Chain A
Amino acid sequence: MEPYELTITEADSLLAEKKLSSVELTRSCLERIERTEEALCSFISLDPDQALQTAVQADRRRDRGEGGALCGIPLSIKDLLCTKDRTTTCGSKILENFKPPYDATVVEKLNECGAVIVGKAAMDEFAMGSTSENCAYKIPSNPWDIDCVAGGSSGGSAASVASGQVLGSLGSDTGGSIRQPASLCGIVGMKPTYGRVSRYGLVAFASSLDQIGPLTRDVTDCATMMQAICGYDRRDSTSVEQPVEDYHSFLSEGLQGVRIGVPREYFTRGLDPEVNQVVMNGVDVLKSAGAEIVEVSIPHIDYCVAVYYLIAPAEASSNLARYDGVAYGFRKEGAQDLVDMYKDTRSQGFGPEVKRRILIGTYALSSGYYDAYYKKASQVRTLILNDFKRAWESCDLLISPVSPTPAWKKGEKADDPLAMYLSDIFTLSTNLAGLPGLSVPGGYSSSGLPIGIQLQGPHFDEGALLKCGFNLERGLSLERKIPAICA
Chain B
Amino acid sequence: MRITSKEVEHVAHLARLHLDSEELDLMTEQLDTILSYVAKLEELDTDGIEPTTHAFSITNAFREDIIETSLDQDKALANGPDHSDDSFVVPRVI
Interface residues, chain A, with chain B CB atoms under 8 Å away: 97-99, 101-102, 193-195, 208, 234, 237-238, 240, 300, 302-303, 305-307, 309-310, 317, 321, 324-331, 335-344, 346-347, 350, 352, 355-356, 358-360, 362-363, 366, 373, 375-383, 385, 417-418, 421, 432-435, 459
Which secondary structure characterizes the binding site on chain B? loop
Determine if B50 is an interface residue (Cβ-Cβ < 8 Å): yes
Question: B39-65 CB contact bits vs A (8 Å, 1 = yes)?
Answer: 111101010011111111010010100
Known A-B contacts A326-B88, A417-B30, A417-B34; the reply to A432 vs B81 at CB < 8 A is no
CA distance A208 to B79 in the complex (A): 27
Per a CB cutoff under 8 Å, which of B55, B58, B71 touches A432?
Answer: B55
CB of B88 to closest CB in A, whole Å: 5
CB of B64 to closest CB in A, whole Å: 11
Determine if B67 is an interface residue (Cβ-Cβ < 8 Å): no
CB of B38 to closest CB in A, whole Å: 4
Per a CB cutoff under 8 Å, which of A326, A329, A335, A379 touches B50?
Answer: A379
Interface residues, chain B, with chain A CB atoms under 8 Å away: 3, 7-8, 11-12, 14-19, 23, 27, 30-31, 33-35, 37-42, 44, 46, 49-56, 58, 61, 63, 71, 75-76, 78-82, 88, 90-93
Residues of A within 8 A of B7 (CB): 363
Q: Are A381 and B91 neighbours in the complex by a CB distance under 8 Å?
A: no
CA distance A309 to B12 in the complex (A): 18
Tally A-B pairs: CB < 8 A: 167
CA distance A352 to B29 in the complex (A): 14
24 contacts between A and B (CB under 8 A): A194-B56, A237-B61, A306-B37, A326-B81, A326-B88, A335-B91, A336-B91, A341-B91, A344-B18, A347-B17, A350-B17, A356-B27, A359-B11, A359-B27, A360-B34, A362-B11, A362-B15, A363-B7, A366-B14, A379-B49, A381-B52, A381-B55, A385-B55, A459-B56
Q: Are B79 and A373 neighbours in the complex by a CB distance under 8 Å?
A: no
Known A-B contacts A234-B63, A306-B40, A379-B49; the reply to A338 vs B93 at CB < 8 A is yes
